[in-house]
């Protein structure tokens, strides 16, 4: 009865406090996650600006790993929340068991890439020998230990599908705090630990994520959740795989597009100097701190929209969409004001190089208007995913990054120089905003009409 009530609350409790209860733990966990990414870069920045640039070059590889883990998790979460809304608990359990084996497959492929191809991968991004050496040291360890990345990334979304955001928060807290503690010891060789430099940052990341993965795995194999893993009853179902990746594949592609975009952006900026690449890395890490607020909001928002869509409650779904959009905009406004008012202190957190400050301060100010639009675009994509429509989110992301951002940055950098290139971000996000809102309004209205027709039919 307890688990039934936990599921039913998504269709019955008041939207605003419920969205807060579901999102707050995820927001806290993701803020800590973003904080440890920032602290990771701060420590590496103390080594040199070259080390910071190397970390920026390796960042797209990490986002590829996260793309597969989180994208699969998003697909699973969307499916599980809809199945629970329809009362199909056994199928929801089987979907979670499929995710278990998918995560192991991902980890094995990542380890193979790290053992045999890590050097070749870094060569794709730069021809600078110093950056190649530092980047290879870092990414080889990340790839070999990638199972530790995939397990918490996918397993957290299984619990989020049933509306449990508290335990995923604890998983992220465990990993983040462990990483923050391990970083200085392994990077700088404090006490009995060896001085490993950028490799130390990679080891700290893998060890900390491994701890989080062990924790969430133990939780999923316990009997304290609505979703319960039991591999003895696992029944392979291609239909489940198809449904996971109907939403998950576009979510994966969204993040892969982001990784490719980062690579091209780094090449454009690298044509000016290496310091510009370091500035881009700083921007993305600071940006992640604010965007994690929105991604944390999504962890409560997505299953809440998906459940009420599956449970045929259009009024609750609409109210959740409006409330989620308004909350996300407040987060975007906070990011905009922080970048506008405090650019120099934010840059100095990482390094006080005069050239870094000269490029970084105007860059932060010129990029920041993008966040007012980006947060709504993120919520729009999550809404499409929640109702099982992954294709619109993929099209929007492709348009935003490949059709708008990269060509704009290339043209602005060629005709206006490095300083003008930063305006490409608000330009791309602003144009995408109008498409996202219009398309979302059309799709959401059609979904609401469909639910009302089903409700009217069931009353006879």
Tell me how far apart the alpha carbons of residues 280 and 268 are, in angstroms, rounded to a whole number.
Answer: 11
254 falls in which pLDDT band (50, 70, 90)? confident
Secondary structure class of 221 (helix, strand, coil) = coil
**Cα atoms in the 13 Å half-sphere on the side-chain side of 397:** 25
Is pLDDT larger for residue 458 or for residue 16?
16
Count of domains observed in the chain: 1
Mean pLDDT of the chain: 85
Residue 436: closest CA among 400, 410, 403: 400
Is the pLDDT assigned to residue 281 strictly greater than 50?
yes
- What pLDDT digit, counting tens, does each position of 23-58 carry? 887 788 778 777 777 887 888 888 888 888 888 788
Q: Which domain holds residue 157?
A: 2-6+13-458
**Cα atoms in the 13 Å half-sphere on the side-chain side of 418:** 20
* Residue 108 CB neighbours (<10 A): 13
Contact indicator for 396, 438 with CB cutoff of 8 Å: no
- What pLDDT digit, counting tens, does each position of 388-398 carry? 776 787 788 78
Is pLDDT larger for residue 6 or for residue 443?
443
What is the average pLDDT across 434-457? 74
State if pTM tops 0.85.
Answer: no
């Amino acid at each position: 009865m307890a688990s039934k009530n936990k599921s039913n609350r998504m269709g019955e409790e008041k939207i605003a406090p419920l969205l807060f209860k579901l999102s707050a733990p995820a927001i806290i966990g993701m803020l800590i996650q973003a904080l440890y990414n920032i602290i990771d870069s701060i420590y590496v920045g103390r080594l040199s600006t070259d080390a910071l640039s190397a970390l920026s070059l390796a960042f797209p590889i990490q986002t590829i790993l996260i793309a597969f883990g989180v994208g699969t998790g998003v697909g699973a979460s969307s499916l599980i929340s809809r199945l629970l809304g329809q009362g199909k608990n056994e199928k929801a359990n089987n979907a979670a068991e499929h995710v278990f084996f998918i995560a192991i497959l991902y980890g094995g492929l990542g380890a193979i890439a790290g053992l045999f191809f890590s050097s070749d991968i870094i060569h794709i991004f730069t021809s600078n020998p110093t950056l190649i050496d530092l980047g290879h040291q870092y990414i080889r360890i990340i790839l070999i230990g990638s199972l530790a990345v995939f397990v918490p990334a996918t397993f957290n979304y299984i619990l989020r599908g049933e509306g449990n955001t508290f335990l995923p928060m604890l998983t992220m807290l465990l990993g983040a705090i462990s990483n923050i503690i391990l970083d200085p010891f392994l990077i700088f060789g404090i006490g009995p630990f060896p001085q490993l430099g950028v490799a130390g940052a990679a080891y700290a990341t893998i060890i900390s994520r491994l701890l989080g993965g062990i924790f969430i795995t133990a939780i999923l194999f316990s009997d304290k959740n609505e979703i319960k893993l039991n591999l003895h009853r696992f029944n392979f179902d291609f239909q489940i795989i198809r449904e996971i990746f109907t939403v998950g594949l576009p979510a994966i592609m969204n993040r892969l597009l982001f990784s490719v975009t980062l690579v091209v952006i780094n090449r454009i900026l690298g044509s000016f100097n290496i310091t510009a690449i370091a500035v881009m890395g700083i921007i993305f890490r600071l940006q992640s701190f604010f965007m994690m607020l929105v991604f944390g909001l999504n962890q409560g928002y997505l299953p809440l929209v998906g459940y009420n869509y599956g449970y045929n409650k259009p009024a609750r779904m609409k109210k959740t969409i409006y409330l989620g959009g308004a909350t996300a905009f407040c987060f975007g406004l906070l990011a905009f004001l922080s970048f506008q008012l405090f650019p120099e202190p934010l840059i100095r957190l990482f390094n006080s190089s005069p050239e870094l400050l000269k490029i970084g301060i105007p860059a932060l100010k010129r990029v920041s208007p993008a966040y007012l639009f980006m947060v709504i675009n993120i919520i729009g994509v999550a809404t499409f995913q929640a109702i099982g429509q992954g294709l619109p989110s993929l099209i929007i992301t492709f348009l935003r990054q490949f059709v708008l951002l990269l060509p704009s940055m290339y043209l602005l950098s060629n005709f206006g120089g490095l300083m003008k290139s930063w305006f490409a971000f608000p330009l791309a996000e602003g144009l995408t905003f109008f498409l996202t809102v219009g398309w979302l309004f059309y799709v959401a209205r059609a979904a609401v009409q469909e639910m009302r027709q089903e409700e009217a039919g069931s009353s006879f």
